[in-house]
Amino acid sequence: MCGRLSQYRGIHDFVAVLSIPDALINHVGDAALERYNAAPINARVEKVAHGPFFRAIWRHRLIVPIDNWFEWVDGPDKTRQPWLIRRADHGPVFCAAIGQFPTPDSDAQDDDGFVIITADSIGGLLDIHDRRPVVFRADMAAEWLDPATPAERAEQMLLFEGEASEAFAWHKVGTAVGNSRNQGAGLIDEVA
């Protein structure tokens, strides 16, 4: 589902991997983002392409670059254990998303924002949570973002071309990540 996420690198670190010219209008500068515990909004892949709620923004495809996301597993004693999930190579995670934002030619609207697209978990990720964000390799992210990519192709990408569970590694983290007000690098540290 992508219960929480982290973006602690600088935005340029994410964009450099994409190798897309003019991919960014930078409003955040060069500093590291240092967001270790952000609460995202998610949308199911089964609904984004055809559901009436998302129809207006379906054509506005974007990528949410993150370092990792968190999920919770119910323990035998009814406690919930948080897990950190990230690329096994520690590279950027490019989550497929849709949304709308103000442009230089338009004003901000009340419904501006984005949703991260989720799909059924597969492989080892299923042991952590039944949903996962749809994650693309950098070359697939570029195709997803390309306005020339037809809507039908974009939908096929979501359904069949996200990264497999083998691309990821996961470990237990402390329960402090359960409160979104908690921040700091210690939230991503592995616990026994």
Q: What is the distance of C-alpha 65 from the center of its chain? A: 6
Q: What is the pLDDT of residues 35-56, one digit of tens each?
A: 999 988 898 888 887 888 887 7
Residue in the block written with tokens 């990821």 = 168
What is the mean pLDDT of the segment spanning 114-127?
82
Distance CA 179, CA 34 (A): 16
What is the mean pLDDT of the segment spanning 123-139?
84
Give phi and psi for 172, each to the nearest 5: -70, 145
**Model confidence at 11: pLDDT above 60:** yes
Q: Which residues is 32 bridged to in the sheet? A: 10
Distance CA 134, CA 120 (A): 9
Q: What is the pLDDT of residues 46-93, one digit of tens each?
A: 888 788 888 778 888 999 999 999 999 988 888 999 999 999 999 999
Q: Cβ of 182: how many Cβ atoms within 10 Å?
A: 14
Q: Name the residue among 146, 157, 142, 163 with its Cα closest to residue 18.
A: 142
Domains of the chain: 4-188 (3.90.1680.10)
pLDDT band at 160 (very low <50, low <70, confident <90, very high): very high
**Model confidence at 27: pLDDT above 80:** no
Q: Name the residue among 74, 81, 90, 73 with its Cα closest to residue 9.
A: 90
pLDDT of residue 126: 66
Of 15-29, 106-120, 138-152, the poorest mean pLDDT is in 15-29
Question: Where is mean pLDDT largest: 18-27, 114-123, 152-161?
Answer: 152-161
Residue in the block written with tokens 């026994």 = 192
